[in-house]
Each structure stands twice: as structure tokens, then as C-alpha cells.
Amino acid sequence: MGLISTLFSFRGRANRRALWATVVLLGAMVTAILYLQITLYPDAPYTMSKDGEIRIDIHGPIAWLAGAYLIIAFWSLLALHVKRAHDHNYSGLFVLLFLVPILNIWAAFVLYLLRGTIGDNRYGPDPLTGPAQSWKSLLVLISLILVSIAQAHLTGKLPLNIRQHLPQIESPFSSENKAQPV
């Protein structure tokens, strides 16, 4: 099974490595999009929500890139989850359990951690007995390297940019707030 059919086809079966590799790759791409946003638009507004979450306003061509990415990522993740359900000899409708609280934990446990049906099933041959697909391991390695590089750059740039746009909060431990001795 090639990379395109692994990411976009709903037919056949997929092993855990294919799912994990895709999740890591998509995570690397999110980091890359945020890195582009911060690099190309360093003065873009950053806001902090009431619960302390930092939000980056994505605009310009990066917004189009992010929108296209979200569509591709959603489709790829849906296809991989359906194929993991097929690997357990479940219908693709099994992924709907992710929408049900409590059952979503069980569904994630099954698809992400448990080995699928050993041998052939009604959805195709066992993906672990087929030809070795070393490209998936290479994909995970490259994704991890890219995420590490991007995060190293982000940690150097992000805090400085965010501090420019967030209100100044004084520390209760600053010298101005200390009680003067009597």
C-alpha cells in the first residue's frame, strides 16, 4: 500500500505504525504552519483567553494553507481510523464511537494500542504479514526531526513575540511589591 492510498483510501487495513506515523506527521505539519505564521508575520496579534490559553491569529496566505491542511488532515485521519477498525474486523462505523463519551476512550485504546486481527479478515490481508514498508518508519523519524527543529526555533522566537502583545503582568515577587521593613 503506497503513501497516497494509506492516507486517503478507506479500503483495506492499516497497522498501528501507519496510524501513529500519520499522527506524528500531521503534528509536524501543524508545527510547521505555526512556524511559518510566526516567521512571516512576527507582528501578528497573539491573544490570551480567560483560561490562560494563548491564541495565534492566523491570516494571509497562511490561513489558506491552514484551511487546506485541516481538510487533508481530517480526511487522512478518518481514513486511517477506518482502516484500523478494519484491521480489528470492525466496520468503519466503529470510528463513530469517538463521538460518544467514555466509549471514545475504549475506541482509542483499541485502535491505537491493540494489535488487529491476526491473518486475513473480510477487509483484506494482515498488514503485518505483507511486504515491509520501511517508508513509514522513515516518515516518523523525519517528522520527529522536523518537529524538534521547528520547536527549537519557536521556543527562541515565540515568547518574545507573545510578550509584545500580551498585557504586562507584574510578579508578586518583584522588588516594588515587597513589604518594607519597619
- Report pLDDT digits (tens) over 117-161: 998 999 988 888 766 555 666 666 676 677 667 666 665 554 444
How buried is 28 (Cβ within 10 angstroms: 0-12 exposed, 13-18 middle, 19+ buried)?
buried
User: Around Cβ 178, how many Cβ atoms within 10 Å?
Assistant: 9
| 178 within a domain of the structure (yes/no) | no
| 171 within a domain of the structure (yes/no) | no
| From 26-40, 79-93, 105-119, the region with the lowest mean pLDDT | 26-40
Judge whether 38 and 107 are in contact, CB under 8 Å: no
Confidence of residue 170 (pLDDT cuts 50, 70, 90): very low
pLDDT exceeding 70 applies to what percent of the chain? 69
Closest Cα partner for 85 from 77, 75, 76, 95? 95
| 176 within a domain of the structure (yes/no) | no
For 75, the grid coordinates are: 480526511
| 156 within a domain of the structure (yes/no) | yes
Return mean pLDDT, the chain. 77
Query: Could you give the angle at the alpha carbon of 85 between the alpha carbons of 6 and 3, nearest 5°?
Result: 5
Confidence of residue 82 (pLDDT cuts 50, 70, 90): very high
| 56 within a domain of the structure (yes/no) | yes
CA–CA separation, 57 vs 44, rounded Å?
Answer: 7
- Which pLDDT score, from 0 to 100, does residue 140 have? 64
Q: Tell which wins on pLDDT, 60 or 90.
A: 90
DSSP state, residue 170: -
28: left (phi over 0), alpha (psi -120 to 50) or beta: alpha
The total number of structural domains in the chain stands at 1
Domain span at 66 = 3-165
Question: Mean pLDDT over residues 61-81, rounded?
Answer: 89
φ, ψ of residue 54 to 5 degrees: the values are -90, 130
| 129 within a domain of the structure (yes/no) | yes
The b/e string for 78-89 (b: 16+ C-beta within 10 A; e otherwise) is: ebbbbbbbbbbe
| 139 within a domain of the structure (yes/no) | yes
| 173 within a domain of the structure (yes/no) | no
